[in-house]
Amino acid sequence: MAAAYLTHHQKVLRLYKKSLRHIESWCIFRDKYRFYACLLRARFDENKHEKDMIKATMMLKAGEEEFWANQHPQPYLFPDSPGGTSYERYECYKVPEWCLDQWHPSEKAMYPDYFAKRELWKKLRVQSWDKEVQQLQNETPADGPKSEALPPARKEGELPPLWWQFVTRSRERPM
């Protein structure tokens, strides 16, 4: 599913969701929004059995143009979504995990089992690092990687490449 191009199905669904969200931005009261949302759904539904792809693509193009003309200049964005009011607000409180190594031993002694477990995790990281690098070198095409997506773990008992930075990332809302 994660190919480089969107299928027609995906494009239609994206247009539908965009249009619904912008209708929600225009129609503030829920009952009116529900009315116009049902009308939009009916408009999409009457053409959903179109078999001719050329006509379907032309209809999609007309739909995108209509969306562009009628979009809301300040669409409603959820606060945590990109462009929202509290997006990235807590980035400045997120501390990287290597700071834990710089704690004073007296502070580390306050959480002995956590730091003992942490030593085991670090050993695991050292062990699996060469295999991760090997897997990445094998799977990257000759003229550089095509996208930022990392491959999953291929063999039984191995860990996916560069797993450490995902496992040790900060919380979404730091304490």
Which of residues 17, 41, 61, 94 is near other proteins by CB under 8 A? 94
Q: Which is nearer to other proteins, 90 or 163 (CB)?
A: 90
Stretch that binds other proteins, among 6-14, 92-100, 138-146, 148-156 (CB under 8 A): 92-100
Q: Does 93 bind other proteins (CB under 8 A)?
A: yes
**58: helix, coil or strand?**
helix
Residues 6-25 that bind other proteins (CB under 8 A): 23-25
Which of residues 90, 115, 163, 164 is near other proteins by CB under 8 A? 90
Q: 67, exposed or middle or buried, with CB in 10 Å at 0-12, 13-18, 19+?
A: middle
Using alpha carbons, select from 153, 155, 146, 140 the residue that is nearest to residue 3.
146
Stretch that binds other proteins, among 5-13, 58-66, 72-80, 118-126 (CB under 8 A): 72-80
- Location of structure tokens 């030593």: 119
CB of 31 to other proteins, least distance (A): 9
Element (H, E) at 92: none
At CB < 8 A and 24+ separation, what contacts does 36-45 make? Answer: 40/16, 44/12, 44/16
- Location of structure tokens 């529900």: 34
Residues 82, 88: Cα–Cα separation, whole Å: 8
Q: Does 86 bind other proteins (CB under 8 A)?
A: yes
Number of residues that bind other proteins (CB under 8 A): 30
Q: Which residues bind other proteins (CB under 8 A)?
A: 23-30, 32, 35-36, 70, 72-74, 76-77, 79-80, 85-94, 175
